Amino acid sequence: MTVTNAETVQEDSPVTRPRRRAPAVVIGVVLLAVFLAGVWAAWFFTIDDAFISFRYAANLAAGHGPVWNVTGPRVEGFTDFGWVVWAGLGAWLGVALPLFMKLTSLVFGLLTLLMLAGTGHRRGGIGGMLVAGGAYVVFLPTYFHITSGLETAAFAAVLLRIVLLGLRVLDGERVRAYEPPVLLLVLGMLRPEGVLAALPTVAVWLWRERRSRAAWSWTAGAALVGGGYFVWRWKYYGQLLPNTFYVKFGNLTSGRMWTEHTTWLLLPLLLLTLSLVIRRATRRIGSLLVVTVLLTYVTYAVSGPSMDYLDRFADHAVPVLCLGAGLAAATLGGRWVTTLTGLVAVVWSAVLGATAPDLGTIANYGPDLQRAHVAIGKGLATAEVPEQARTLAVSDAGAMPYYSGWHSTDFIGLNDPQISRGADPTQVVLHARPTVIVLTASSPTPGSSSYGLNVAEATAGYQEVAAVQMRDNYFQTVWALPEWAGTVREHVQTAVATAAPLNDPGRYDETVGRWLDRLKRQLPGF
Q: What does the pLDDT read at residue 335?
A: 74
**Pairwise CA distance, residues 362 & 59, whole Å:** 28
Q: What does the pLDDT look like over 179-205, one tens digit per residue?
A: 999 999 999 999 999 999 999 999 999
Least confident of 101-105, 254-258, 391-395, 424-428: 254-258
Least confident of 86-95, 262-271, 302-311: 302-311
Q: What does the pLDDT look like over 118-142, one tens digit per residue?
A: 999 999 999 999 999 999 999 999 9
Nearest to 286 by CA among 166, 374, 145, 433: 166
**Pairwise CA distance, residues 100 & 94, whole Å:** 10
Q: What does the pLDDT read at residue 19?
A: 47
The DSSP secondary structure of 169-228, one letter per residue, reads: HHTT----TTHHHHHHHHHHHH-TTHHHHHHHHHHHHHHHTTT-HHHHHHHHHHHHHHHH
Q: Phi then psi for 95, rounded to 5 degrees? A: -90, 140
Mean pLDDT over residues 172-178, rounded? 94
Taking each helix axis from N to C end, the angle separating 213-237 and 194-208, rounded to the nearest 10 degrees, works out to: 160
**Is the pLDDT reported for residue 356 higher than 70?**
yes
Q: What does the pLDDT look like over 205-252, one tens digit per residue?
A: 999 999 999 999 999 999 999 999 999 999 999 888 888 777 666 677
**Is the pLDDT reported for residue 493 higher than 60?**
yes
Mean pLDDT over residues 137-151, rounded? 97
For residue 363, what pLDDT band results from cuts at 50, 70 and 90? very high
Q: What does the pLDDT read at residue 20?
A: 59
**Pairwise CA distance, residues 326 & 331, whole Å:** 9
Mean pLDDT over residues 137-157, rounded? 97
**Is the pLDDT reported for residue 516 higher than 80?**
yes
Q: Phi then psi for 31, rounded to 5 degrees? A: -60, -40
**Is the pLDDT reported for residue 293 higher than 90?**
yes
Q: What does the pLDDT read at residue 526?
A: 54
Q: Which residues contact 375 (CB under 8 A, 6 or more apart)?
A: 468, 492, 495, 496, 498, 499
3-class DSSP assignment, residue 437: strand
**Pairwise CA distance, residues 56 & 67, whole Å:** 5
Percent of the chain at pLDDT above 90? 81
Q: What does the pLDDT look like over 382-401, one tens digit per residue?
A: 999 999 999 999 999 999 99
For residue 336, what pLDDT band results from cuts at 50, 70 and 90? confident
For residue 7, what pLDDT band results from cuts at 50, 70 and 90? very low
Task: Output the CA angle 169-172-178, nearest 5 degrees.
Answer: 45
Q: What does the pLDDT read at residue 247?
A: 65
Q: What does the pLDDT read at residue 6?
A: 39
Q: What does the pLDDT read at residue 242?
A: 83
**Is the pLDDT reported for residue 47 higher than 80?**
yes
For residue 254, what pLDDT band results from cuts at 50, 70 and 90? confident
Mean pLDDT over residues 319-330, rounded? 95
Q: What does the pLDDT read at residue 18?
A: 46
Q: What does the pLDDT look like over 91-113, one tens digit per residue?
A: 999 999 999 999 999 999 999 99
For residue 303, what pLDDT band results from cuts at 50, 70 and 90? confident
| Alpha carbon of residue 132 to chain centroid | 21
Q: What does the pLDDT read at residue 239?
A: 85
**Is the pLDDT reported for residue 482 higher than 80?**
yes
Mean pLDDT over residues 263-282, rounded? 94
Q: Phi then psi for 467, rounded to 5 degrees? A: -130, 105
Q: What does the pLDDT read at residue 349?
A: 96
For residue 23, what pLDDT band results from cuts at 50, 70 and 90? confident
User: What is the bridge-based pairing of β-strands 391-394 and 436-441?
Assistant: parallel
**Is the pLDDT reported for residue 15 higher than 50?**
no
Task: Report which DSSP code applies to 410.
Answer: E
Q: What does the pLDDT read at residue 525?
A: 61
pTM of the model: 0.93
